[in-house]
Amino acid sequence: MFEFRTKLQKYQLASLVSTALANALLFLGTLTPAWQVAMDQDAQRYVESGLWLYCPGSAQCWYIFSDSLINYYEKVDVCRFFLIGDCRKKLLRTPYFFGWHYAVLILNVFSMTFMTLGIAAIIVAYLKKNKVRLFTIIFDVMAFLACLFLGISLMVFMINAEMLESKYLIGIKNTFEKEYGYSFYLAGLAFLISTFSMMFAVLVTTYTFFFVENYEDDDEYSDDQYPMKPATNMSYPPSHQVPSHYQSQLTTQIPATEHGSIIMGSVSPAGQFKSQTRHFYSY
């Protein structure tokens, strides 16, 4: 049932594998909390901050889904001495989640949804030969949207991760810089593979709409199904002589011919068939 003999089928398989792999990597990256990591030297703990998980070392991880709880800040007014009204907000604790965490999470979910729909479309395109063009177009659209949403998601994360409020972890005494964790790199690898999936989608579209391929070993015309067997029950005249009712049509001389006319065979005086020599009239 699952055979990949033509280039179209091979590119469909490559599209399926690359899209499924990118979807799995993005799912693992979104699920794990190590998008930003930092070592809190004051508390001697390794802090991981994800899109929806915050794990402060060996302690219990925090999770959040509500938009009203994302902006959890602790700020106080710090005023300069003898300067009345010159007060600024100072961040005392690093918030667990920012608003852009929620935006990146939503973009990743959309990207995974498009990848899943693309996987379903390429499978149907392989199984349903009469609908291969329709589902190839659907796969192209899903692959493009998945790559686009994932690219925007990574851009939003990288831009906001470099902001001062989210780039540093405020400890008890000191401040520590956060770095990108393995979850971010999993999502980045998923984006790279999704670009290859788009290239495979272009090849699938090309071979679907512009190239018609034939099966190399089609079962309907297979040599194994119709083997050539020598005939064992056929009889021939003695010495392969031409039957008498054909001898009247054959002569020992080449008749006068014109361009485009048929050259009849000849018979030797002994009655045996003699092939004619090819010349330009025979072409």
Residue 223 included in any domain: no
- Give residue 241's pLDDT: 56
| Per-residue confidence (pLDDT) for residue 66, from 0 to 100 | 55
pLDDT class of 262 with cuts at 50, 70, 90: low
| CATH number for the domain harbouring residue 141 | 1.20.140.150
pLDDT the model gives residue 153: 96
Q: What share of residues in the chain are helix, strand, coil (percent, to 5)?
A: 50, 15, 35
Q: Is residue 10 part of a domain?
A: no
pLDDT for res 5: 77
Q: Place 280 in a pLDDT band, splitting at 50, 70 and 90.
A: low
Please state the domain count of the chain. 1
Rounded to whole angstroms, the Cα distance separating 152 from 138 reads 21
Enclosing domain of residue 112: 42-63+99-209
CB-based burial label for 40 (10 Å; 0-12, 13-18, 19+): middle
Confidence of residue 277 (pLDDT cuts 50, 70, 90): low
| Of the listed ranges 19-33, 76-90, 148-162, the one predicted with least confidence | 76-90
Strand-pairing partners, residue 85, are none
* Share above pLDDT 70 across residues of the chain, in percent, rounded to a whole number: 61
Confidence of residue 173 (pLDDT cuts 50, 70, 90): confident
12 is a domain residue? no
CA gap 130, 135 in Å, rounded: 10
For residue 63, the surrounding DSSP H or E stretch is: strand 62-63
Label the pairing between strands 45-49 and 266-267: unpaired
Residue type, 147: C
pLDDT at residue number 202:
92
Residue 119 lies in a domain: yes
**151, two tokens:** 């690219």
The rounded distance, in Å, linking the Cα atoms of 19 and 37 is: 28
By DSSP bridging, strand 87-93 and strand 74-79 are antiparallel
- What is the token pair recorded at 105? 């999470």
The yes-or-no verdict on residue 210 having pLDDT over 70 is yes
- Taken in order 54, 60, 65, 69, the sign of the CA dihedral is negative
Q: Is residue 20 part of a domain?
A: no
> What pLDDT score was predicted for residue 54?
83
Distance in angstroms between the alpha carbons of the first and the last residue of the chain: 47
Residue bearing the bigger pLDDT, 57 or 19: 19
Residue 137 lies in a domain: yes
Q: φ, ψ for residue 93 (rounded to 5)?
A: -135, 140
Answer yes or no: is pLDDT of 282 > 70. no
Q: What is the mean pLDDT of residues 114-123?
A: 95
pLDDT at 49: 87
pLDDT tens digits along 239-259: 455 555 555 554 545 555 555
Tokens of 134: 């329709």
Is residue 85 included in any domain, yes or no?
no
279 backbone dihedrals φ, ψ, rounded to 5°: -145, 180
